[in-house]
């Protein structure tokens, strides 16, 4: 059963194999961007509360705020770039070298390879004097936390919103951390007021594109195997 406020009408021009990449990523992205008060995520871990505006169907003026998205080519990361951009937030994305153009397609104003030896300096320079909100780390591994904390330290603090429990060590006092819990009523207004029309207008794109593994339940195991091996800028889909 699906709640009415967690659904939208898929325009007839968009096949289901494309549309299916949207829902879970959308919940995750809204939870990363628009929660206003930290709430429970898991024992001892609160959700982040970046309190950023919802995406708009209009071309909104820039808020002057900058958000860094680490893992911009992931499902959660690329949707966060799309929604933040549609809310007037300037996004700087970190992704693999092969996906820098992809994250720009999602709306990032600048994109850097997370393996670049000078990536921290480049990100700090790109943030410049804008109002820095913090980092959404869609990957949330020890090595990504290291880079996050280096940027946040240089910027004098900010949010570190994670998809897994945030780091506990070497976190400066002026850095606020949290882990998203990607199902929240906070996303309902986005489903209600944004998704259908944004899909129709092409403002919301079904990204990353799907890779269809096959048709039928017998392909689920193969999909799980491929998922475990890791994917890059795609969503694995089994058609039924
Ligand atoms: N807490 C929650 O509620 C919640 C909600 C949603 C997702 N999650 C978690 O969030 C994570 C992301 O989920 P997803 O479905 O968005 O992932 P995904 O689409 O499978 O992520 C794939 C991307 O991860 C990037 N990547 C892989 N290893 C990396 C590394 N070591 N450093 C930097 N980037 C790396 C790759 O980037 P390149 O190919 O460009 O290198 C790739 O495009 C998962 O661990 C998931 O379990 C949590």
The rounded Å distance from CA 115 to ligand 1 centre is: 16
What local confidence, expressed as pLDDT, does residue 139 receive?
98
What's the average model confidence in pLDDT over 167-171? 94
What local confidence, expressed as pLDDT, does residue 206 receive?
98
pLDDT of 1 over the 90 cut: no
Which residue in 126, 121, 151 sits closest to 136, CA to CA?
151
Mutate to test the pocket of ligand 1, among 104, 163, 180 (most ligand atoms within 8 A of CB): 163
**Burial annotation 79-99 (CB, 10 A radius, 16+ → b, else e):** bbbbbbbbbbbbbbbbbbeeb
pLDDT tens for 76-87 read 999 999 999 999
The alpha helices in the chain, defined as continuous H runs, are 16-19, 23-34, 75-85, 100-105, 119-127, 142-155, 188-190, 196-201, 220-229
The rounded Å distance from CA 47 to ligand 1 centre is: 18
Q: What is the CATH superfamily name and number for domain 16-185?
A: NAD(P)-binding Rossmann-like Domain (3.40.50.720)
| Nearest-angstrom CA–CA distance, 176 and 45 | 12
Cα separations (Å) of 79 from 18, 103, 128, 221? 14, 10, 24, 26
What local confidence, expressed as pLDDT, does residue 191 receive?
97
CB 102 within 8 A of CB 233: yes
pLDDT tens for 217-231 read 999 999 999 999 999
**What is the band of 29 on the pLDDT scale with cuts at 50, 70, 90?**
very high
β-strand 45-46 against 40-42: which pairing, if any?
antiparallel
pLDDT tens for 110-123 read 999 999 999 999 99
What local confidence, expressed as pLDDT, does residue 3 receive?
84
| Through-space distance between the first and last CA atoms of the chain, rounded to whole angstroms | 18
pTM of the predicted model, to two decimals?
A: 0.98
CA nearest ligand 1 atom 23, residue: 74
| Nearest-angstrom CA–CA distance, 222 and 217 | 10
List of residues 6+ apart from 117 with CB closer than 8 A: none
What local confidence, expressed as pLDDT, does residue 4 receive?
85
Q: Indicate the burial class of 239 (C-beta count within 10 angstroms; 0-12, 13-18, 19 or more).
A: middle
What's the average model confidence in pLDDT over 102-107? 98
List of residues 6+ apart from 43 with CB closer than 8 A: none
pLDDT of 70 over the 90 cut: yes
The rounded Å distance from CA 72 to ligand 1 centre is: 9
What local confidence, expressed as pLDDT, does residue 161 receive?
98
The DSSP call for residue 84 is H
DSSP secondary structure, 108-170, as one string: -SEEEETT-TTHHHHHHHHHTTSEEEEEEESS--HHHHHHHHHHHHHHT-EEEEESSPPP-SS
Q: What residue segments make up the domains of the chain, in order of their start?
A: 16-185, 209-240
Assess whether the C-beta atom of 45 lies below 6 angstroms from ligand 1. Answer: no
pLDDT tens for 55-65 read 999 999 999 99
Assess whether the C-beta atom of 114 lies below 6 angstroms from ligand 1. Answer: yes
CA nearest ligand 1 atom 44, residue: 139
Which residue in 206, 104, 202, 92 sits closest to 151, CA to CA?
92
What local confidence, expressed as pLDDT, does residue 79 receive?
98
What's the average model confidence in pLDDT over 127-153? 98
Assess whether the C-beta atom of 75 lies below 6 angstroms from ligand 1. Answer: yes
CB 143 within 8 A of CB 84: no
The rounded Å distance from CA 95 to ligand 1 centre is: 10
Atom of ligand 1 nearest to the CA of 231: 22
| Percentage of residues in the chain having pLDDT higher than 70 | 100
CB 78 within 8 A of CB 21: no
What local confidence, expressed as pLDDT, does residue 183 receive?
85
């Amino acid at each position: 059963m699906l709640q009415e406020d967690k659904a939208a009408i898929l325009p007839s021009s968009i096949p289901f194999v494309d549309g299916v990449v949207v829902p879970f990523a959308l919940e995750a992205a809204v939870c990363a961007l628009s929660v206003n008060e930290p709430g429970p995520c898991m024992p001892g871990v609160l959700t982040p509360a970046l309190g950023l505006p919802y995406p708009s169907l209009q071309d909104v003026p820039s808020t002057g705020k900058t958000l860094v998205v680490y893992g911009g080519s992931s499902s959660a990361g690329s949707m966060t770039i799309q929604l933040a951009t549609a809310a007037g937030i300037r996004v700087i994305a970190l992704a693999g070298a092969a996906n820098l153009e992809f994250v720009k397609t999602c709306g990032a104003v600048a994109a850097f390879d997370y393996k670049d030896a000078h990536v921290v300096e480049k990100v700090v320079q790109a943030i410049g004097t804008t109002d820095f909100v913090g980092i959404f780390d869609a990957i949330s591994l020890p090595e990504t936390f290291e880079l996050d904390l280096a940027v946040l330290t240089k910027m004098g603090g900010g949010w570190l919103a994670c998809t897994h429990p945030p780091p506990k060590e070497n976190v400066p006092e002026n850095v606020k951390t949290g882990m998203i819990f990607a199902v929240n009523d906070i996303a309902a207004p986005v489903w209600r007021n944004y998704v259908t029309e944004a899909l129709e207008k092409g403002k919301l794109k079904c990204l990353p594109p799907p890779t269809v593994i096959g048709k039928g339940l017998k392909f689920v195991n193969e999909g799980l195997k491929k998922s475990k091996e890791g994917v890059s800028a795609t969503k694995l889909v089994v058609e039924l």
